[in-house]
Structure 1
Amino acid sequence: MKKLIFLIVLIVSFTSCKQQEVDLIVTNANIYTVNTNFSKAQAFAIKNGKFLAVGTTQEITENYTAKEIVDAQGQTIVPGLIDAHCHFYGLGLQQQRVNLEGTKSFDEVIQQISKFQDEKNVSYITGRGWDQNDWEVKEFPTKKKLDKLFPRTPIAIRRVDGHALLVNDAALQYSGLSETNFPKDISGGEFITKNGRLTGVLIDAAMRYIKIPPSTRKESILGLLDAQKINFSYGLTTVDDAGISQPTIELIDSLQNTGDLKIRIYAMVSATQQNLDYYTKKGIIKTDRLNVRSFKVYGDGALGSRGAAMKKPYSDREGHFGALIYSPKRYQEIAKQIAASAYQMNTHAIGDSANYWVLNVYKEALKNESDRRWRIEHAQIVDHQDFDLFKNVIPSIQPTHATSDMYWAEDRVGSERIKGGYAYKKLLDIYGKVALGTDYPVEQVNPFLTFYAAVVRKDIKGYPANGYQMENALSREETLKGMTIWAAYANFEEHEKGSIEAGKFADFAILSQDIMQVSGEKIPETTATSTYVNGEKVH
């Protein structure tokens, strides 16, 4: 009898010794691992902020024990989502400014500004989000009403895409300009005039002439924390901030070191000459939460404001081609300097001319190096004969641009050129991967709208009935990869995130429904019920 009791105790002791103590176990889940085989799992164990093991519920519970065990009760889990192109800091600052998104007329813009000023009473009004293409009269506004209502308060409000700015007379005066006193000939932009006088709308490079007081440190910190909260609420755990300055990067690093900013950020440094010189000399900056190894360059403007550089004139504006932001020679100089470093070059290119020029600059600078992972951001309108130039360049694309622009994009470029527009499947076939983002706050933060636009190619109104240019829709698997592992690859981070695998950061989101199985029209209803970073619940 004593021998039997001893044997039982020995077996129990041996069994308990087999179970490894971990920090968190998640069981009974519907897990899309997004590993090489795109396999599924039921459970995982997390220790020290990383996935330790992934498998069935039985395998994990037999081999691991934890003080915290989450029973997912069949809910869907995906890797922490990555927004491969957004303006995280800009979104945060926008929370401190007037929000003009969704306004349906210029009168509504005026109402929003007046309401904001009544509440905030600021000395200089800034904001973003108006879009004349959403108005009944689809023409650029003028500053006339702003001058009348706000004669002494400077106002500078950006169009939704950030490539046009409306200012009043007070803002012109603050900047040392006037209706008749302004640069008459600039490269890469335009001062819109009527009868020789400024209307108040400035395009691309012209916007640089408007002086706007810098944000205070307090505003910047509040903005970053607000943006983090918004992103976590959508299951986003990594964001690629497309175009930020050295002081902002250093503030982000500081807040991450104190533990206040937990979100992971892939920083694209604004490619000023000062920044190019500083960061190429300093080299890559890499922590678990911050990765500084790329530059954001602007190739041209936006299609909506007709600033995108086209090979032939716009179909709805005779003799107008848009423009490159810099001289052709300047792009070659920038590319040469970046190519001589370990940094990545990520260039905004919308029009077919901008895409053609930048892709050829890349080809010359890289001399067919195969793994530099330079990126074209947006790649919206591409000439049919230029798609092959993407064989060595990552397309970083934003699916909701297609469903936002589809109402007027063909008017801009005509029925033939639009066939090379928003061609996400074709770009995927050429390079083999696509990195997906939102470009928020140009579009909404919601990544499930990205998923919907990529797969279904409709807007949330269900338009068009059969989807927009469905030959370029992505499959659900391709789309989830573009929002996770392929986005991580575009950031040189595929070995540390982007899939639920042992050894990778324990970043994941629990979803309200199975985004891979629900009917297409239900995809936008998806929410992130919980978000985890390093195994810590952050939403």
Structure 2
Amino acid sequence: MMKNILIAVLLSTMLFSCNAVERQEADLLVFNAEVYTVNDNFDIVEAFVVKEGKILETGTAEALREKFEFGEQLDAQGRTVLPGFIDGHAHFYRLGLQQQKVDLTGTKSFDEVVERIVAFQKEHNDDFITGRGWDQNDWEVKEFPIKDTLDKLFPDTPIAVTRIDGHALLVNQAALDLAGITVDTPAQGGAIEVKDGKLTGILIDNPMGLVANAQPEPSIEEQVNALLEAEKISFEYGLTTVVDAGIDKNTVELIDSLQQRNELKIRLYAMLSNTPENLDHYLGGDPVKTERLNVRSVKFYGDGALGSRGAALKAPYSDHAGHYGALLSPVEDFRKIAERVAASKFQMNTHAIGDSANVVVLETYKELLSDGEDRRWRVEHAQIIDEEDFKYFSKNIIPSVQPTHATSDMYWAEDRLGPQRIKGAYAFKRLLDQAGVIALGTDFPVEEVSPFYTFYSSVARKDLENYPEGGYMPEQALSREETLKGMTIWAAYSNFEEDEKGSIEPGKFADFIILDRNIMTVGEDEIPNVEVLQTWVNGERVFSRE
């Protein structure tokens, strides 16, 4: 009898030991969650396993516990879990720099702009005052300001404050003098505004560079702080990858050095600014690719912005007779750059707002991209498309749009374009139907950083005051599933990164977020108020609100 008992105990111990050996080691189990995987079937699961910074398996907690041994377990308490958001078009470095400058967003008059500049300077006492965010379309008098007040208050301190869209600049006389700008300065690809024979202080598009060249460069410490501050803000909103739309070689190298030292943990996709130095350095070789940095695209500016009437249109502006906007470079220069990029291993991404700029970009892309060639060139903004030009979009010519532009511009866009042309503007649903994919972003700091505003504008086509009832051009709204894909897997596709991020699937980076409510099912009006509770990158918690 005793012998049988000993044999039974021994067998039981052996079986237990075998089962224990069979269980694989893993770092993290996320369970008790509503996980939107955003895989091909758009499956929703309850749990997933992370090992060495990547998703190992998805399923039920019960099944995963039988198979794995975990170093850590995270109870999501029934919350919604999504892949980390990817901002398909933003200005990450610029956002960080903006935190060190005067913030003019939301100003309701030029008087308020002046008040903020004065208050900022009392605190900072800068040698050159810079800032961003004013928008004359939000003022009672919807006209560009003039510099006279700034000249009186700051006769010796240069001031350069950028319009919200980044395509117009207000400067005082001290800044004009420093940049060497007079009424006789030529202004190709933009404008230097003159009234009654005098400079007003308004510069549009290319001439803004004259002032930028006269500004002091930020110190290395200021640059590092800018990147870290931008990362902090991004993580708070659940952004785990950001596409930085236009940065230079030196900034790329600083980002890479910080990431290599694990001081900067966010993933960045870099669009190189179209400068000779950047093109000469990168285009002759392979893209630069690490797990956190991808440098494989060139950013070209086709035209200006609609708000400052710099967007290049096929027919004159409806509210400015005889004015067409402008291409920022001659067509032949754009074509030369496009041919050079086509001969390289890099992607081309072109800012195009007006229908004239868009058709130049689209026809050039079509001519240079061979059938069957996987190049995924992008049209950034694709804002106003002529009826006959939608046909050019595809999975190889991708629309990259920012939904909040529609709800920011809707108050005055038809004034600029007229009732017929507006039908091809902010046409996100039509662009998706034609291309099969669409990348969604914010264009921050032009717009707010919050991806929840992006989601809401895409789905509801309303501003934060729930205007207009029924939505702006509601036929162009995207569904919640389409919107989530545009902020995750399709954005990853547009960066050639769909095999490593954009969904919660085995083999992909463990970049995910936990929300305080289910953005896929809450009432539409609640979407802008959704908050991120936790942000994880590479299986590491990088932000927690709790």
Aligned match of 1:160: 164
* C-alpha distance after superposition, 1:368-419 (max 9, x if no partner): 3541100000001100111001134100000000000000000000010000
Q: How far did residue 212 of structure 1 move?
A: 1.4
Residue 411 of structure 1 aligns with an amino acid whose one-letter code is D
Aligned match of 1:111: 115
Aligned match of 1:342: 345
1:515-526 aligned at under 5 Å gives the runs: 515-526=519-530
Q: How far did residue 282 of structure 1 move?
A: 2.9
Residue 15, structure 1, aligned to residue 19, structure 2: yes
Distance in 1 (alpha carbons) for counterparts of 2:6 and 2:493: 60
* C-alpha distance after superposition, 1:150-198 (max 9, x if no partner): 11100000000000000000101111234x3x41x43210011101211
Gaps of 5+ in 1: none
Q: Please say if residues 25 and 65 of structure 1, whose CA atoms lie closer than 8 Å, have aligned partners that are also in contact.
A: no
Residue 512, structure 1, aligned to residue 513, structure 2: no
Question: Which one is further off, 372-381 or 212-221?
Answer: 212-221
Question: Which one is further off, 132-141 or 209-218?
Answer: 209-218
1:341-420 aligned at under 5 Å gives the runs: 341-391=344-394, 392-420=396-424
1:481-520 aligned at under 5 Å gives the runs: 481-520=485-524
SS in 2 for 1:538: strand
Residue 530, structure 1, aligned to residue 531, structure 2: no
1:232-271 aligned at under 5 Å gives the runs: 232-271=235-274
Aligned match of 2:309: 306
Distance in 2 (alpha carbons) for counterparts of 1:62 and 1:134: 59
Residue 497 of structure 1 aligns with an amino acid whose one-letter code is K
Q: Please say if residues 26 and 45 of structure 1, whose CA atoms lie closer than 8 Å, have aligned partners that are also in contact.
A: yes
Percentage of identical aligned residues: 59
TM-score by length of 2: 0.97
Distance in 2 (alpha carbons) for counterparts of 1:106 and 1:62: 65
Distance in 2 (alpha carbons) for counterparts of 1:114 and 1:359: 45
Aligned match of 2:69: 65
* C-alpha distance after superposition, 1:6-27 (max 9, x if no partner): 1221222122222212111111
SS in 1 for 2:283: helix
1:84-233 aligned at under 5 Å gives the runs: 84-178=88-182, 180=183, 182-183=184-185, 185-210=186-211, 211-233=214-236
Distance in 2 (alpha carbons) for counterparts of 1:137 and 1:158: 18
1:54 corresponds, among 49, 54, 58, to 58
Aligned match of 1:281: 284
Distance in 2 (alpha carbons) for counterparts of 1:15 and 1:165: 69
Distance in 1 (alpha carbons) for counterparts of 2:224 and 2:196: 44
Q: How many residues align?
A: 536
SS in 2 for 1:7: helix
SS in 2 for 1:282: coil
1:428 corresponds, among 424, 427, 432, to 432
C-alpha change, 1:476 and 1:346, in structure 2 (3 Å) is: same
SS in 2 for 1:65: strand
Q: Please say if residues 85 and 241 of structure 1, whose CA atoms lie closer than 8 Å, have aligned partners that are also in contact.
A: yes
SS in 2 for 1:242: strand
Residue 301 of structure 1 aligns with an amino acid whose one-letter code is G
TM-score by length of 1: 0.98
Distance in 1 (alpha carbons) for counterparts of 2:131 and 2:248: 19
SS in 1 for 2:143: coil
Q: How far did residue 515 of structure 1 move?
A: 0.5
C-alpha change, 1:296 and 1:98, in structure 2 (3 Å) is: same
Distance in 2 (alpha carbons) for counterparts of 1:147 and 1:334: 40
Distance in 2 (alpha carbons) for counterparts of 1:60 and 1:455: 35
Residue 297 of structure 1 aligns with an amino acid whose one-letter code is F
Q: How far did residue 62 of structure 1 move?
A: 1.6
Distance in 2 (alpha carbons) for counterparts of 1:108 and 1:65: 59
Gaps of 5+ in 2: none
SS in 2 for 1:330: helix
